[in-house]
Amino acid sequence: MNMIWGQLHAGLQTVLDTALDAVIVMNEDGCVVGWNGNAERTFGWTAEEAIGKRLSDLIIPDRYREGHERGRVHFLATGEGPVLDRHIEVDGITRDGVELPIELSVTATEQFGDRVFVGFLRDISERKAQSERQQRILQESEHRVKNMLTVVAAIAQQTARASPDMGSFSKAFAGRLESLARAHELLVGQVWRDVALSALADRVLGADVALGRARYGGPEILLKPGQVLGLSMILHELYTNAIKYGALCNDEGGLEVDWTCGDGIVELTWNEHGPPCESDSVSSGFGNRMIAMSVKSDLKGTIERDWTPNGLTAVLRFPRDP
């Protein structure tokens, strides 16, 4: 091992230390003989601590160690290695026991007399997280397009029932659609640095406030950008459901949204009252999951929902200063 390590220092150490990826060199016995600075930063072990240790004991999670050792022995016996000379994604583990998704490429070489395996490893945690965020956005977009079509149809039906003539219908229908469009500006447009909770409530509920079917109120509270986006999604989802199935699906129901703030915690109560409508479609449940995700990730808060014969009551609590 000392001979190979010395040769690495002579021939490859500069490359190892300037590589953008973590680079680890392992001998045929499965022990580490090369470990660059990025490997130290990625996995937490210094080169002095890693050199001479079995690679499987350092960066491979317990559930994969047996398979790793079998693969090494199989390659030495047959020369066949399915993971060699290709890019694969695996899980690695840091010194602190934190698992990381890793992009790995391994090549075998006998350039130094004895065969060694050179692995290039890249932490792809951020790439994975970005991919998951993009997938969530795509799912939300698909869900919202379907919801929007349903809401527009419901608004048209409600407005038509309450309109004595086509002129009245056109005016009322256009006003409701305009309010709905204003609410969506916060979902797809520029999020301001500070947004008043009352302004957000007005964007979501404005049309029904004008019709006397909704009311909101509470102390002036300024929301941060992440809170604005999360709360706008939550309120709009609740509002959508109220129009489709809840208190706003007919002309008899109503809605109140009130909020208070004490000890740094905002408590917002969404209270529907009125006979709900029977739905002729089955909910996918994604809306509820999206609400739960936004409450947890964007607001760092909690939500409690209670369905009673009089309608839905939801209580949302989150820290004013995230």
pLDDT in tens, 56-114: 899 999 898 888 888 888 888 787 777 788 888 889 999 999 999 999 888 888 766 67
According to the model, what pLDDT value does residue 216 have? 96
pLDDT in tens, 193-204: 578 899 889 888
| Whole-number Å distance between alpha carbons of 40 and 44 | 5
Please name the residues in contact with 108: beta carbons below 8 A apart, sequence gap of 6 or more. Answer: 75, 81, 84, 115, 116, 117, 118
Orientation angle between helical segments 125-162 and 225-244, nearest 10 degrees: 40
According to the model, what pLDDT value does residue 225 have? 73
Q: Is 174 exposed, middle or buried (0-12, 13-18, 19+ CB in 10 A)?
A: exposed
Alpha helices for the chain (secondary structure H):
2-11, 13-18, 37-43, 47-50, 55-58, 62-78, 125-162, 166-188, 197-210, 225-244, 286-297
According to the model, what pLDDT value does residue 165 have? 84
Residue 270 clears pLDDT 60, i.e. is over it: yes
| Whole-number Å distance between alpha carbons of 28 and 18 | 25
DSSP state of 123: E
Residue 288, token pair as written in the block: 């509820």
Q: How confident is the model at residue 218 (pLDDT cuts 50, 70, 90)?
A: very high
Task: Report domain 127-319's class.
Answer: alpha beta
- 2.30.30.60, 3.30.450.20, 3.40.640.10, 3.40.50.10110: which CATH number matches 2-123? 3.30.450.20
Alpha helices for 90-124 (secondary structure H):
none
Share of the chain above pLDDT 90, in %: 24
Q: How is the chain split into domains, by residue range?
A: 2-123, 127-319
Residue 160, token pair as written in the block: 């038509």
According to the model, what pLDDT value does residue 147 have? 65
Residue 58, token pair as written in the block: 């350092």
Q: Which of 11-25, 205-219, 253-267 has the lowest mean pLDDT?
A: 11-25
**pTM score:** 0.47
